[in-house]
Amino acid sequence: MNTERHPTETPPPGTTDRHRPSWVSDESIRHWCSWIHRDTPRHEAVEARLPVSLAPFDLSPLPSVPSCRPGDVVSAAATAAAAQRRWERVPIAHRARAVLAFHDLLLERQDQVLDLIQWETGKARFHAWQEVAQVAAIARHYARRAGRYLAPRRVRGIIPGLTRVTRQRVPKGVVGVVSPWNYPLYLGVGDVLPALLAGNGVVSKADPQTALTLLWTRSLLHEAGLPDELWRIVAGDPVKVGTALVDTVDFVCFTGSTATGRTVAERAARRLTGASLELGGKNPLIVRADADVAAAATGTAVAAFANTGQMCVHVERVYAHESVYDAFRDELVRVTESLRPGGSYDYAHDLGSLVSADRLAAVRAHVEDAVAKGARVVTGGPARPDIGPLFHEPTVLEGVTPEMDVFAEETFGPVLSLYRYTTDDEAVNLANQGSYGLSASIWSRDTRAAAGMAARIRAGSVNVNDGAAAAAGSVEAEMGGMGDSGLGRRHGAEGILKYTESQTVAVQRFLPLGPPPGRSPEDFVRRTNGQLALLRRLGVR
């Protein structure tokens, strides 16, 4: 296993547009790839590597990275487990120092990772920066609050004064993290940081499309002071390597499709291993009759088309009250048509590319199927090869009906469907259609009424007068899905407690729990019953 390390490079200003960023050298790529855990002897002439992925901006090949085998995953988990046994004895305040150092380095060198994210995903630079901002907030929050979240709690014992009980949190052991390509920094490290702070080791599976972003992040955490063996990274065949990971670790954190999430949950359940799953969504947005139409239209465009629609919480269906529907639709068209798609390593464009030819084909298929079955394109519609090979116009549809694929299936692209409604009850029922329940949005000047509606919507997060960012960015509040959108939560207390087990330590003093010597069981039962009745009369909880 190669453990040689080199300092993180500082890039010169500027990048090569639509190609490899100019500061990324072959040496830096080799250094990042050295973080992939492989037990393959270094003298092997041919190293197994992942199939080459393509850079979305121009379909040029991305650097390939070493491929792991199932045995490498087992070895990675064993290495992390050995390091974890030392790490859990490190005071939380000391663990937090490394995370805060990472926070500072991330902000200092953010242009590096912004370039990598754009190179690997094709997203607009502002949407790449949102990942940096979110990870910085997560790092700061858990570094400052982990001690409070994980602190032992004294609770009342069975015999107050004689039984001293402490409820404490102990680490799971080794956490497996499987993160997708669409948010390689936020989802790649945002779940890793609280797991580490809780005292665990981690094994992450890198997505082949965005492996360099994750490996760059691992290198930065090494520089921040995280022990090398504690966080291991594997890459390889999704089925073989992913299965080996689920079969090896003590807890699984998975973000991805609902279909794959079911497979992960079933496999983890065989070992009685816990799992946290954030899965798909078909997220609704409601525009009430009293909404600020201009603000709602702008917010809808952001919620639907940010990251080119490639995010689990993005809005795919909008229900506008019939009294404001026409005005809202017209304003939404104006806002949508003002968006600037393009591929550059700066902030000149509002929308980036789709990530792959398969993703582009899926988006086009949904639009073409809807049009063929009677839907109308209000704006957008076609792909935009004149901008880049994987660009697609942000698209708004009307007249979508249940027989169309776009009606209930997650598009995961820049496509939005509009519907009318007449009453709040109808809007809630429409929002609750389907099996997903990840995120929702309500726009209204009457925020109290909107909050009342929110409580009736089956979704893990509901935003009022915002598309998705208000809830997702509030890292002190939990975020996750209901129904087919997943299990468990990230962020907040649950986002770190899920990586621990609750352990009760009870210390009995002076008297045993039972009849003392020389006293009959009948006498003990009579006296105890009297004590129980007294506690009830005194209102003791």
Q: Is 68 a catalytic residue?
A: no
426 is catalytic: no
3-state SS assignment for residue 491:
coil
Contacts of 75 by beta carbon, 8 Å cutoff, 6+ apart: 1, 37, 39
DSSP secondary structure, 492-540, as one string: TTHHHHTTEEEEEEEEE-SS-SSPPTT--HHHHHHHHHHHHHHHHHHT-
The answer to whether 474 and 133 have CB atoms below 8 angstroms apart is no
State the distance between the two ends of the chain, measured CA to CA, in whole angstroms: 57
CB 287 within 8 A of CB 329: no
Catalytic residue, candidates 120, 131, 229, 278:
278
Torsion of CA 213, 29, 390, 329, to 10 degrees: 20
Q: What number of other Cβ atoms are within 10 A of residue 310's Cβ? A: 25
- The angle that helices 258-270 and 238-246 make with each other, rounded to 10 degrees, is 40
Helix (H) or strand (E) holding 170: strand 163-171
Rounded to the nearest 10°, the torsion over CA 293, 297, 300, 304 is 160
Q: Is 151 helix (H, G, I), strand (E, B) or coil?
A: coil
Three-state SS letters, 29-75: HHHHHCCECCCCCCCCCCCCECCCCECCCCCCECCCCECCCHHHHHH
Q: Are 9 and 28 in contact (CB under 8 A)?
A: yes
Residue 47 makes CB contacts below 8 A (sequence gap 6+) with 40, 66
Q: 328 and 297 in contact (C-beta within 8 Å)? A: yes
- Evaluate whether 206 touches 233 at the Cβ level (below 8 Å): yes
Helices (H), 382-468: 405-408, 424-431, 447-454
Beta bridge mates, 166: 154, 505
Which of the following is catalytic: 33, 68, 253, 312? 312
How distant, in Å, are the alpha carbons of 375, 422, 442 from that of 400?
5, 17, 21
Which residues lie across from 249 on neighbouring strands? Answer: none
* Measured distance CA(21)–CA(61) in Å, rounded: 13
| Parallel, antiparallel or unpaired: strands 395-398 and 376-379 | antiparallel
Residues involved in catalysis:
278, 312
